[in-house]
Amino acid sequence: MSVHLRSLRIQAGDRALVSQVSLRILPGKITVLVGASGSGKTLSARSLLGLVRGIEPGIVQADLEIQDGEKTHRPYDARDREAAFAPIRGPLLGWLPQNPRAALDPLRAVGLQISDCLKLAGRQSDPGPWLKRVNLASGVGALLPHQLSGGMAQRIGIALALARGSRFLIVDEPTTGLDPSLRAGILQELRAARDAGVGLLLITHDLRLVRKLGDHLLVMDRGCIVEDRSAQDLGAMKSPQAQALWQATARLEGR
């Protein structure tokens, strides 16, 4: 079981938005992808799901290999890429997008949306336990997305991702704009998912998260990976961009 992306290149006109990006997600491990805004983190993550607008060979080139037991999926080598991604989206790879409220159907009760996910996963469609798991009352299931606070929407997003039961989960900036106690709750859920054997790709601006729960660290800058190392000794990072990020984090923590 692994997701292995090699030499990803995403082209817009004659400009490469992302080039030479390689990354790996392993079960029970958290790979953290860090970088400034606009460095291509989200785009790279979306290419794992084949959800880059204009999936044609002229725009996205990649060598993506997803191993699932005996089977190996190589969706970017297929002639019909859209069809090749169909068995991957959901059961193998899940996605918790950056703005969880925008990722919810605006006019459908959130409980029903959780049920939709559960049905897709072939599970019993009662959303109650999943709401409880992310510390929401069961009455929340009847609300529409615009009636939720930011933190509630974020937790619904996590409930959806967990309900889908993907083997690997791409989590895009899950703690942005949350207060510390909610942040801790979300991190707790991510840890629990990791301990249950889910492989996570965590995208963030925040290097502090890397120390708390990262296994492997990737730093992106202007569409390229500039640092690729284990998440242990963060002080010894080589590239200037990674060092700048690290120093900014240290200042933030007052050290």
Partner 1 sequence: MSAWRPWAGSALLLFPLLIWVVSLGAGYDVIGDVDVSRASVGPSAAHWLGCDHLGRDVLWRLVTASESFVGPSLLACAVALAIGVPAGALSGWLGGRAASLTRFALTTIASLPRFVLVLLVCAAFGNSVQLIALAAGVAYAPTLAEAIYARIQSFRHRGFVLAGQAHGLRSGRILWLHLLWVNHRRLILRHCIQLFAYFLLLETTLSYIGGLDGAGSFGVAQPDPSWGNMIAFEWREPEANLWASLAPGLATALVLLGATWTGRSLVEEQA
By the criterion CB under 8 A, which residues form the site for partner 1? 46, 49, 51, 53, 86, 89-91, 93-95, 97, 99, 102-108, 116-117, 120, 160, 164
Of 172 and 221, the one with the shorter C-beta distance to partner 1 is 172
Of 158 and 226, the one with the shorter C-beta distance to partner 1 is 158
Please state the closest distance from residue 68 (CB atom) to partner 1, in A.
14
Q: Which residue has the tokens 């590239």?
A: 239
Question: Which three-class secondary structure state does DSSP give residue 251?
Answer: helix
Please state the closest distance from residue 221 (CB atom) to partner 1, in A.
25
Give yes or no for a contact between 114 and 160, defined as CB atoms under 8 angstroms apart: yes
Of 120 and 250, the one with the shorter C-beta distance to partner 1 is 120
Please state the closest distance from residue 102 (CB atom) to partner 1, in A.
3
Please state the closest distance from residue 105 (CB atom) to partner 1, in A.
5
Of 153 and 237, the one with the shorter C-beta distance to partner 1 is 153
Kind plus residue range of the DSSP H or E element containing 4: strand 2-12
Query: Checking DSSP bridges between strand 30-35 and strand 93-96, what pairing results, if any?
Result: unpaired
Token output for 233: 């000794």
Residue in 92, 138, 91 with CA at minimum distance from that of residue 114: 138
Of 118 and 218, the one with the shorter C-beta distance to partner 1 is 118
Token output for 129: 């336990």
Of 89 and 194, the one with the shorter C-beta distance to partner 1 is 89
Phi, psi torsion values for 9, nearest 5 degrees? -140, 125
Query: Checking DSSP bridges between strand 30-35 and strand 199-204, what pairing results, if any?
Result: parallel
Give yes or no for a contact between 134 and 60, defined as CB atoms under 8 angstroms apart: no
Strand 71-73: give its sheet, edge to edge. 15-25, 2-12, 60-68, 71-73
Q: What would you measure as the largest C-alpha separation in the chain, in angstroms? A: 53
**Could you tell me the CA-to-CA distances from 82 to 45, 49, 58, 78, 184 in Å, in that order?**
17, 10, 15, 9, 37
Please state the closest distance from residue 51 (CB atom) to partner 1, in A.
6
Of 59 and 224, the one with the shorter C-beta distance to partner 1 is 59
Token output for 117: 């996910």
Please state the closest distance from residue 22 (CB atom) to partner 1, in A.
22
